[in-house]
Structure 1
Amino acid sequence: MDTTDITVRAAAPAELDAAGALVADTYLADGLLDLGPDDPYLADLRDARTRAAHAEVLVATEPTGEETPRGPHGLLGCVTFVGAGGPFAEVAGPGEAEFRMLAVTRAARGRGVGEALVRACLLRARRAGARRVVISSQSRMHTAHRLYGRLGFVRAPERDWEPLPGLRLHAFALELAHKRGE
């Protein structure tokens, strides 16, 4: 998929509230919160400022970054890249990285925004010297699972876990091949 019309970069401080709102609103609209608008996880999804203090919040925008009808501040999507050991690492261990809270606005879907965000995370993981990227995903996130499979992630059921009783997250892993100079 051609993603040349998408720019992925670190969120600017002025964009963090909009990035958090994008993630929270997308999860809510897609029915990914078991308790709907009363789900306590919604506050975590909105809080991109705290994530940015401990991890890297990435945003996808139009190449110009101008305001578009697609999302606040021209944001098309957002993801949080996490190295091992930080407070936002859920499944990454030594030598691993992960990403979390991947969301793409409905208006921007089908353009390769999610793929561009994941590829940016993989590049950061390689540059950080990670040997593997591991992620968690709800079983009902079928579109995300197809994307992960296309990019080479495989299920890692031995790393499945439950952040809350009854909410089983599926783990996926991708072994990274390092290129010279990276």
Structure 2
Amino acid sequence: MLDIPKTVIRRASRADIPEIADLIGRALAPFLSIGRQPIERYIAYSRNIADRWSSGDVLVVEDAEGIAGTVTYVDSVRRQDSLLPVEWATFRTLAVHPRARGRGLGGQLVQHCIETARNERAAVIGLHTGAFMATARGVYQRAGFQRSPEHDFFASSFLAFDTSEGDLLVAAYRLDL
């Protein structure tokens, strides 16, 4: 029988920020081949947890080796963007450390966000993900999320970069609660 380490989901502390930023960088590094400038901007934005600290609950999933994954849950009250309808709950920056992939940790974090949104009586929880992130899209679809293309956008419009190296579709998903 496979011995899977126990995990705990908890709210991150400010002391966790460097480890979370490192985890996000490691998780996203394989995508650099898609287009260096767009992905570098995306990684820099995603790693900058400190700037978004008060706009949501930064969560981590820990195992015996430390922080194995992260996500930021944002309720409709603290939303600071208009990328999705303001009444929706959302989550962003879901990342699992490469050493911990394949154990369902991303799905655990997604389910935690869904349950939090339900407990807060949100009618909808939405998210955006890079259209190139096939594994993440699969996690969201298995959790019941449906495409919401009317809320898609291109990364250049949000991260302000030169599109000469290409652009990235940021695909929207929603789950009616």
For Structure 1 versus Structure 2, the TM-score category normalised by the shorter chain is 0.7 to 0.9
Q: 1:8 matched to which residue of 2?
A: 9
Superposed CA RMSD: 2.4
Contact in 2 for aligned 1:137/1:170 (Cα 8 Å): yes
* Higher percent of residues as helix: 2
Query: Measured at CA, do residues 157 and 94 of structure 1 come closer, stay the same or move farther in structure 2, by a change above 3 Å?
Result: same
Residues 1:154 and 2:155 aligned together: no
Structure 2: state its 5+ residue gaps. Answer: 158-166
Whether 1:136 aligns to 2:128 is yes
2:48 aligned partner: 47
How far apart are the structure 1 equivalents of 2:119 and 2:147? 24
TM-score, normalized by length of structure 1? Answer: 0.79
Q: TM-score, normalised by structure 2?
A: 0.81
CA spacing shift, 1:45–1:32, aligned 2, 3 Å = farther
Counterpart position of 2:58 = 57
> Structure 1's 32 and 8: CA in aligned 2 closer, same or farther, altered over 3 A?
farther
TM-aligned CA distance change 1:105 to 1:83, over 3 Å: same
Q: Write the letter of the residue equivalent to 1:82.
A: V
Q: Give the count of matched residue pairs.
A: 165
Q: Is this contact kept in 2: 1:82–1:88, CA < 8 A?
A: no
Q: What residue is the counterpart of 1:24 in the other structure?
A: 25
Contact 2:88 / 2:123 at 8 angstroms: preserved in 1?
yes
Instruction: Sort the Cα spacing of 1:6 and 1:127 in 2 relative to 1 into closer, same or farther, 3 A.
Output: same
Q: Offset of 1:35 from its aligned partner?
A: 2.0
Q: Kindly indicate whether structure 1 or structure 2 has the higher relative contact order, using CA contacts under 8 Å at least 6 residues apart.
A: 2
Identity of aligned residues (%): 30
Residues 79 and 86 of structure 2 are in contact (CA less than 8 Å); yes or no, is this contact kept in structure 1? no
Distance 1:89 1:9, change over 3 A: farther
Q: Which of 94, 98, 106 pairs up with 1:114?
A: 106
1:95 maps onto 2:87 in alignment: yes
Matched residue type, 1:120: H
